[in-house]
């Protein structure tokens, strides 16, 4: 590819990452404490956890029938701030602002949108950085191992707290897509429709391997201190490397080639040392260094382990048996260049849904963006989501 073409594509890539207008306005995070004694949550690992603080945000208005609620679940490094701004003048909108808001595909003039930080996170919901009630010190690695199903159970407690009997839709991508897929299996009577985006019924061995490398980078950092780094030096280098590894899997080879090529930062040529010289190297350095300012290393360990453990086949015997439990209508979306959650995994879900007589719509969207495509300006995805959700509201007779 010629250099001028590469620069043009790189500029287009950056434009694609520009968030949409913050039409949702100012959104205030809220906290609620759930699963207090004696009603602690029994986790998949057998341990009990409670009380559990949950941070969540809502947009739009819950209608009188309380049947227009859409639960959106964030991906690996996301949080409850799905759209809008926290304060006037904020430079950054919510992580799915391009999708959520008045007049957008998930239209907050029509739907009551809920997004919470997942159990084990570091953005307001109980996780390993929080105090262990037994010791008063941060949990660290004493925090119990959690699963995707545990995260869903906590979300169900939040939905109960909000007085919502049945969700119009639950949706998410990546780790959020795993949770969205688990919802109608665990709670078939609580979900009318489900949108599963860039996810799978179980991770491939390759995806598990990438997660393992990231975790090893973190625990090998000299400052990790067995997970008890709070109040001392943070394992910044290990977490930054884990983010670099993860970020590579979110992009496609085509997008990396168009954005970076083999361009050196120094026009004079190679430095003949081991510094970061290629543009792709400095980009990954930037991503890693920025990430450590906002995310907890232990939460990264717990979230990636939860992704690894998620396996509907192992839990239910067959994928058909798992899908047979659901009663919702499904939209499943994959992307042609997503090699972290390849399209064949989405087709496995859809085929199981069809074999078990479920209503399913499937789209494998052509894109050069790789796994991260669901987070970007993608008109075709936006049309599909809007159409599916509006048709779902019509079929469910949402008023």
State the Cα–Cα distance between residues 295 and 128, nearest whole angstrom: 12
Domain 206-309 has CATH 1.10.3720.10: no
**Domain parsing of the chain, residue ranges:** 206-309
Nearest to 105 by CA among 398, 396, 388, 393: 388
Identify the three-state secondary structure at position 364: strand
Question: Residues near 277 by Cβ (< 8 Å), separated by ≥ 6?
Answer: 264, 265, 266, 270, 271
Torsion sign, CA atoms 181, 185, 187, 188: positive
Mean pLDDT of the 212-233 span: 98
Residue 362 and residue 81 in contact, taking contact as beta carbons nearer than 8 Å: no
Beta pairing, strands 167-173 & 100-101:
unpaired
Count other Cβ atoms within 10 Å, centred on residue 265: 12
Range ranked top by mean pLDDT from 218-232, 274-288, 369-383: 218-232
Residue 2: its pLDDT value, please?
39
Task: Match 């029938």 to its residue by tokens.
Answer: 65
The DSSP secondary structure of 133-183, one letter per residue, reads TTTSSB-GGGSPP--HHHHHHHHHHHHHHTT-SSEEEEEEETHHHHHHHHH
For residue range 336-353, what is the model confidence (pLDDT) as tens digits? 999 999 999 999 999 999
**pLDDT value, residue 182:** 98
How confident is residue 12, by pLDDT bands cut at 50, 70 and 90? very low
**Cα–Cα dist 156/84, whole Å:** 24
Stretch 286-307: mean pLDDT, rounded? 96
Sign of CA dihedral 144, 147, 149, 151: positive
How far is Cα 326 from Cα 334, in angstroms, rounded to an integer? 20
Q: Is the peptide bond before 38 cis (omega within 30 degrees of 0)?
A: yes
* Mean pLDDT calculated for residue range 160-188: 98
121 vs 129: CA distance, rounded Å: 9
Q: What is the mean pLDDT of residues 374-391?
A: 94
CA distance 207 to 76: 13
For β-strands 360-365 and 329-335, DSSP reports them as: parallel
104 phi-psi bin (left φ>0, alpha ψ -120 to 50, beta other): beta
Measured CA to CA in angstroms, residue 46 lies from 43, 129, 147, 163, 219 at distances of 5, 21, 11, 28, 25
Please report which confidence band the pLDDT of residue 367 belongs to, taking 50, 70 and 90 as the band edges: very high
- pLDDT per position as a tens digit, 133-157: 999 999 999 999 999 999 999 999 9
Return the active site residues: 174, 338, 371
Which range, of 87-101, 139-153, 250-264, 298-312, averages the lowest pLDDT? 250-264
**pLDDT tens, position by position, 69-86:** 999 999 999 999 999 999
Query: Which pLDDT band holds residue 17 (cuts at 50, 70, 90)?
Result: very low
């Amino acid at each position: 590819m010629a250099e001028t073409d590469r620069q043009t594509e790189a500029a287009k890539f950056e434009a694609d990452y520009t968030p949409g207008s913050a039409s949702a306005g100012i959104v205030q995070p809220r906290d609620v404490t759930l699963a207090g004694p004696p009603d602690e949550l029994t986790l998949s690992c057998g341990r009990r956890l409670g009380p559990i603080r949950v941070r969540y945000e809502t947009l739009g208005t819950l209608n009188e029938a309380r049947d227009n609620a859409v639960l959106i679940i964030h991906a690996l490094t996301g949080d409850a701030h799905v759209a809008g701004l926290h304060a006037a003048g904020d430079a950054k909108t919510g992580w799915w602002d391009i999708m959520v808001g008045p007049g957008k595909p998930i239209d907050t003039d029509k739907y009551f949108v809920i997004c919470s930080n997942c159990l084990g996170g570091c953005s307001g919901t109980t996780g390993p950085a929080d105090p262990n009630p037994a010791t008063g010190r941060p949990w660290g690695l004493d925090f119990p191992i959690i699963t995707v199903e545990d995260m869903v159970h906590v979300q169900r407690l939040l939905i109960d707290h909000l007085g919502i009997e049945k969700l119009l839709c639950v949706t998410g991508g990546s780790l959020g897509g795993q949770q969205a897929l688990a919802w109608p299996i665990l709670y078939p009577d609580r979900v009318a429709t489900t949108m599963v985006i860039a996810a799978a019924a179980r991770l491939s061995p390759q995806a598990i391997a990438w997660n393992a490398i990231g975790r090893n980078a973190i625990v090998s950092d000299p400052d990790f201190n067995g997970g008890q780094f709070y109040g001392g030096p943070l394992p910044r280098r290990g977490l930054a490397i884990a983010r670099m590894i993860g970020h590579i899997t979110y992009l496609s080879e085509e997008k990396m080639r168009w954005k970076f090529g083999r361009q050196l930062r120094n026009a004079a040529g190679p430095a003949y040392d081991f510094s970061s010289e290629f543009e792709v190297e400095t980009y990954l350095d930037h991503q890693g260094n920025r990430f450590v300012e906002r995310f907890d290393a232990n939460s990264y360990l717990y979230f990636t382990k939860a992704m690894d453990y998620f396996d509907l086949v192992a839990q239910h015997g067959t994928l058909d048996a798992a899908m047979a439990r659901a009663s919702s209508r499904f939209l499943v979306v994959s992307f042609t260049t997503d090699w972290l959650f390849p399209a064949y995994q989405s087709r496995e879900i859809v085929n199981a849904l069809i074999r078990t007589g479920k209503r399913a719509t499937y789209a494998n969207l052509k894109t050069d963006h790789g796994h991260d495509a669901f987070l970007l300006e993608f008109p075709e995805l936006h049309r599909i989501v809007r159409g599916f959700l509006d048709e779902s509201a019509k079929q469910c007779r949402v008023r």
